[in-house]
Amino acid sequence: MIKHFVDIKDFKKNELNSIILKAKSFKKNISKNLKLFQNKSIGLLFEKQSTRTRVSFNIGVQKFGGNVIELYPESIGFGKRESDKDILMTLSQYIDCLVIRNDNHKKIKYLSDLNIIPIVNALSNQSHPCQIISDLFTIKERLGSLINKKICWIGDYNNVLRSLIEAQQIFCFKLTAIIPKKILQYNNSEIRIFKNKNLKFTNDLKEGVSGSDCVMTDVWLSMGEKNAKKKSNFKNYTIDNSLMSFAKKGAIFMHCLPAHRGEEVSDEVIDGSKSVVWEQAQNRMYVQQAILNFIFYNKK
């Protein structure tokens, strides 16, 4: 059976836990798996800029003996010279998995539904599952079990937060999303779908951060978003030491990066002792390896 990794909500808790545990194993014993992806080849089809996701997939596969090829939509004429289905059929003759980053989640879903070749969502306008599974790995490394841990999100209602909410629905950790009032109102119809006792939406910064074990954020405008006026909604939403003081003493700060210093986070926080952003970035590689391992070798 062909496996895909498109959205967190597609998986059961035990499957996601197995990916996280495998990432932990890879990080601890990376030298024992140098031939794991031998004779495996993946294609990267990125229509949007990428640093961490591109490099972590590329290096992660090569470290385990696999091959990586970057495919450029304008070069292969994806969806133009021939049908998407025919291109996937062609690619499936050469590669074992296609990793896609684009601004069209419906296209990723369509390609995975064709069931021709494993598809991995490396970020879309709707979700960023690879990022959030990696973030859960980092949180568990630093703080232990997710049970009774409170994660606080500060910022926009975006693709990263959607994946975080999907994870919350499965793992049932405490999640408070602090979002400007106008943005909450604009997305209210979608937000109402997600309801459980451990999930809260608010625009009260101090109350939301209070007692948090982990404070997370992202840029105020997503990649390619051109509504500059939207930034006016985020007045006082910069995470600085003063705001972090409301979190627990041992709380950590996370950012999926790239960061706009001085906007969503101050230098003193992202470069401070509570920040785990570089460890967070490093862990992307181990989780990408674990996701591919799940796709290639978990046939259940």
Query: Could you state, in order of their start, the residue ranges of all structural domains in the chain?
Result: 8-128+283-297, 129-280
pLDDT value, residue 31: 87
Compute the distance between CA of residue 214 and CA of residue 117 in angstroms, rounded to an integer.
Answer: 37
10-residue mean pLDDT profile of the chain (300 residues): values are 97 98 95 95 96 98 98 83 93 98 97 98 98 98 96 98 98 98 96 93 97 98 82 96 98 98 98 98 98 88
Give the number of other Cβ atoms within 10 Å of residue 29's Cβ: 9
* CATH superfamily label, 8-128+283-297: Aspartate/ornithine carbamoyltransferase (3.40.50.1370)
151: β partners: 175, 214
pLDDT value, residue 299: 59
φ, ψ of residue 249 in degrees (nearest 5): -60, -40
pLDDT value, residue 289: 98
User: For the CA atoms of the chain, what is the radius of gyration?
Assistant: 19
pLDDT value, residue 225: 79
Which of 137, 142, 131, 169 lies closest to 258 in space, CA to CA? Answer: 131
CATH of domain 129-280: 3.40.50.1370
Helix (H) or strand (E) holding 136: helix 129-143
The amino acid that residue 129 corresponds to is P
What pTM was computed for the model? Answer: 0.97
Which of 166, 167, 168, 165 lies closest to 179 in space, CA to CA? Answer: 165
Cβ-based neighbours of 127, under 8 Å, separated by 6 or more? 6, 7, 8, 105, 121, 159, 162, 163, 166
